[in-house]
Every structure is written in structure tokens, then in C-alpha cells.
Amino acid sequence: MAADDEPTFTAEQVVSAAYHALLERAPDDEGRQNYERRLLAGDSVTDVLRDFTKAPEFGLNHPAILAGHDSLPENSIELGLSDEQRERVWQHVRDTWSRLGREDPYFSVMTSEQFRRAKMSPEGVEHFYDSGRADIHRLQRYLARNRRDVPRDGICVDYGCGLGRVTLWLARHYKQVIAVDISEEHLGIAQRELAARGVNNVEFRLLRRRDDLVMLNGADLFHSVIVLQHNPPPIIADILQYALNGLNRGGVAFFQVPTYGFNYTWNYDRFIAHDLPTGGMEMHVVPQNLVFDLATRAGCVPIEVQPDGCAGMPYWVSNTFLFAKPGAARQAWASRFFARRGAAAVAADPGGAASAIGRHMTAAT
């Protein structure tokens, strides 16, 4: 029994404190009501706080402490696949996300127990879509502090749009949004939910194979967060190659991807024979130097790179990248920048990005 002088807290106080301490913001109405109902219904404070720390928004605000990573061994990652092998891996990604879209679509996007299909209510759906607001605020902070402006009438590509959680907010900031996903099931829900919210400036595109990545051409803003990490490394490389090459002059690419994983390796034969998951989502890595090589070949300049908490695992490093493709007036400056990095010879390689991938048969951050 509690002592008379032991402090007690209401559900409202606990939830408000969790929002401010863990998500660094005031509670939104839908989320606050959802967590308060759970506490009043008997859920433990531990379970509720655990859901806060599992949220992507928490990871974005609390990057991993990286001091102990300097002495870690390299990741062995195979990237040079044959066309047949590459298509087999793309098929695996299609099958996986189509299944997740059928079985548990909201949870597949936001891996918090409150978003399990069986628990979803109209209020829960609103809370799910409202959570995308934080992602847009983060994008805007990156752009603002680097004095980068994406015109409102520019074309925005949201890669791996899922159910349109972030697409909704991009569509409220930009005149035209192209929402791309590999799962027809996810796109169907996204179209329905955004239409219900009066959004009519989004073009939904279903991507099925590597060649379809040409649809990324012509973007003024390429956006992809908590998406690339669920694709095997050769697929991540494909996506970034097309996205960065297809960026318009003056455009920017804002994306997140893990660049190191403790004990992480990837090999095609082993992946096909043993590692194909039968249940949940998989997590993957591409080395940071490959990201910079692909950007160099595409004529993109690194503007900012920051660690983030999106991988959500100890001894994994995830980075958020902001790249820009200079306009004609800035192209000479970009060439000098990469020459200083010793990348001039790489940029002149007529083999293009494919040869860069081949050189990274075994790669590290």
C-alpha cells in the first residue's frame, strides 16, 4: 500500500511528461487520448513508455551514442549481382511488402503495438497520420539551417510512401507529390485515406522492379525516411543511384539509411538459401562510402550528414543525408569540391555507378 506522502500522478500527467521528455514536444490530442485510455484501462506505465521509445519519432530525436564505434570491424557486403540475382532480390522485396500490406499495414510502417491492425480505431488512424507532421518539421529544419529552399511548385518524390503517413504532409507543403511504393496494398490504403482528407495533388505510382526506378527522374525534392533500411544492400544502391541521378538541377535529396551494423554481413547465396525472413521486417546496411560515391557520380554535393536513431539497435549507425544537385552556375564549384576529396578519377569513370557497386564487393563504413 502506498504511503500517505508518496506522490501520485494522473494518467494525463504521465502522458504529458512522456511526450515532453521522450518526443520533445507537446502531446497531440489523438495521441494523448490514446495513451491516457490505455493507462486508465490498466496498461502499465512501463508498456506505455516502451511504445514511446519504439516510435520512429523518438529515434529521430535521440541518435545513438557513437563513441564506441571507432574500433568495430568492417561489414562484409556483396553488391555486385547478376541481372538474374538482382531481379530475384527485387522479387523478394515485392513479396515481403505485399504480404505486410495485407496482414498488418499500419504496424509495418510504424512498429508500435498500438498500430496493430486489430487495435486500430478511427482515432488510432488519425493519430497514425498525424505522426507524419514531425517528419516534415525535421525536413524543414534541415533545409532551413542550410538555407535550402524547395519551391512550393516543385516536384516532390516520397519514396516508400507506405500508407501516405508523410505524403499527406508533403502534399500540404508542395504543389505536386509523387508517392512511390512497391506494395499495391499499401498504395491502395494511402490513396483512400488521402482522398478522404481532401488531398488531390498526389500521384501514386506502383514500383515493381529495378527498371521502374526511372519514375524517380525529375524530382526537386527526393524524400525517404525509415524505408531504405528494409531493403537488401543491392536494392538500396539501386534506389539511391536512380534517385540522385534523376534529381533536377537545384534539387535536394533528404534520406536516411543505416551505414553500419555490428556483425552485419550480406551475401546473395546465403541470403537466398538461409536468410529470407518468414515473418517480420528485415534491417539492412549500405556503407557510407558507397552513398558518397553514388552522389559524386550523380553530381550531387553533400550539404549535411547527421547520425540518427532510426536503426534502433545497439552498435548500429544510421545517418540522415542531405544532398543537393547544384545548378549550372554552381557546377564548377561542385567539381572542385569533389576533386579535393580525391573523387575526380571516380567521377570520370565511364562505367558509371555500376562499376562503383562492383568495387564494393566487400565494403565498410
Q: Please, are residues 307 and 256 in contact by the beta-carbon 8 Å criterion?
A: no
Query: Read out DSSP for 64-80?
Result: PP-GGGTTPPPPEE---
The tens-digit pLDDT sequence of the chain (365 residues) is 455 566 688 988 899 998 888 887 888 887 888 888 888 888 888 888 888 877 766 765 655 544 556 677 889 999 999 999 999 999 999 999 999 999 998 888 888 888 888 889 999 999 999 999 999 999 999 999 999 989 899 999 999 999 999 999 999 999 999 999 999 999 999 999 999 999 999 999 999 999 999 999 999 999 999 999 999 999 999 999 999 999 999 999 999 999 999 889 999 999 988 766 555 678 999 999 999 999 999 999 999 999 988 887 777 899 999 999 998 534 444 444 445 444 443 333 434 444 444 444 334 33
Rounded Cα distance between 204 and 188, Å, is: 9
- Homologous superfamily in CATH for domain 76-359: Vaccinia Virus protein VP39 (3.40.50.150)
Query: Domain limits of the chain?
Result: 16-54, 76-359
Q: What is the DSSP letter of 323?
A: E
